[in-house]
Amino acid sequence: MTPAGSGVGCGTASHRALFYDGAEDYASGIVSFLGEGLAAGEPVLVAVPAARIGLIKERVDGLAGPGSQVTFIDMADVGRNPSRVIPAVRRFASAHPGRRTRAVGEILWPGRSPAEVREVIRHEALCDAAFAGLPVTVLCSYDAGSLDDAVLRDAARTHRHIQQRGEVRASEAYGGPDVARAIGEQPLPSPPAGADTLTFQQGGLARLRRYVLHHATQAGLGAGRTQDLVMAVNEAATNTVVHAKAPGTLRIWQERGALVCEVSDPGRITDPLAGRHVPSPRAGKGHGLWMINQICDLVELRSGTWGTMIRMHMNCS
């Protein structure tokens, strides 16, 4: 074991987990990590739920010297859909070319739905591939006193190092890229038996849009969010008819206060980071999955030899 400020994993990219127990342990663990970066002149990004920002900011302000760059964002906003977090970190790193950057994130907190937890785990498993080649050091905090043991075991599988009680150790459970591959290629749990189902193919997208519009209106989404959901589902279905070139299936149901629309087909998406790449302004296509992630409150994408499913969640309130 080594001290938390020792720079473990500071090659090109470093991705570690902080296991904390209580507010003081949380603040001290994060501040020591950020202080190391500020001392080295690194711009730092703090992405935690809004209620936590004050706890960190009042301590970091005392460490930040002239010219220090500290950015705070509300993780409950950017991380509501975990698929948006990797692009946010990459944008921050790209805004400081030629410099190493440092980021703290708390993307999982008590009360997250099972679907959100699934997607957080997948996000964490993808981070090493997503940040490869970037001079960025990332710390992901986990409330070891409140979260389920299963969540902490998954965190140990998806991070090379664990910071706890002021020390950093290698994670013996770390699974490398095999974890992300296994998660991404495994189908999601089956929709409820009462889910409404529509089969569609080329020429049937207008009917599909009307179908989503009806269900969204019935669920009380409101005009703007209904339009967004129709757009997202239409984009996923368009990918089916253009790329899979086979009939697709739309299933719709309500779950934990959200309307869920799942588009599935026999095609396969081979890029595990699909939808998480910041699109180039010059690219004329390939923005579909990115757009879906920006619109929906949660997006789950799984693809393997069995086919592809894209599950889009839109909160009803």
pLDDT tens-place string over residues 46-76: 999 999 999 998 888 878 766 679 999 999 9
Q: Given this model, what pLDDT does residue 61 score?
A: 81
**Is residue 79 within 8 Å of residue 47, measured between CB atoms?**
yes
Strands (E), 68-206: 70-74, 101-105, 136-143, 161-164, 167-170, 196-200
For residue 11, name the pLDDT band (cuts at 50, 70, 90): very low
Query: CA 108, 178, 294, 248 torsion: positive or negative?
Result: negative
Check whether 133 has a pLDDT greater than 70. yes
Residues 6+ apart with CB under 8 A from 197: 249, 250, 251
pLDDT of 60 reads 86
Query: What's the confidence (pLDDT) of residue 3?
Result: 57
Helix, strand, coil shares of the chain, percent, nearest 5, are 40, 25, 35
Angle of CA points 17, 67, 18, to nearest 5°: 10
More confident residue, 285 or 157: 157
Q: Which tens digits make up the pLDDT trace of 206-234?
A: 999 999 999 999 999 999 999 999 999 99
Secondary structure class of 297 (helix, strand, coil): coil
Domains of the chain by range and CATH? 2-184 (3.40.50.300), 196-315 (3.30.565.10)
Q: What is the pLDDT of residue 4?
A: 59
Residue 139's pLDDT band (cuts 50, 70, 90):
very high
What is the model's pTM? Answer: 0.92
Helix (H) or strand (E) holding 260: strand 258-265
Average of per-residue pLDDT across 8-23? 81
Beta strands 13-20; 136-143: pairing state: parallel
In the chain, % of residues over pLDDT 90: 84
Q: Is the pLDDT of residue 284 over 60?
A: no
pLDDT tens for each residue of 38-47? 999 999 999 9
pLDDT tens by residue, 85-111: 999 999 999 999 999 999 999 999 878
pLDDT at 14 over 70: yes
**Quick one: tokens of 18?**
């902080």
Mean pLDDT of 143-148: 93
Q: Is 199 exposed, middle or buried (0-12, 13-18, 19+ CB in 10 A)?
A: exposed
Least-confidence region, from 35-39, 161-165, 242-246, 257-261: 242-246
CA 45 to chain centre: 16
Between the CA atoms of 114, 120, 124 and 127, what dihedral angle is there, to the nearest 10 degrees? 150
Please determine, for residue 10, whether its predicted confidence score (pLDDT) is greater than 60. no
Across the chain, mean pLDDT equals: 92
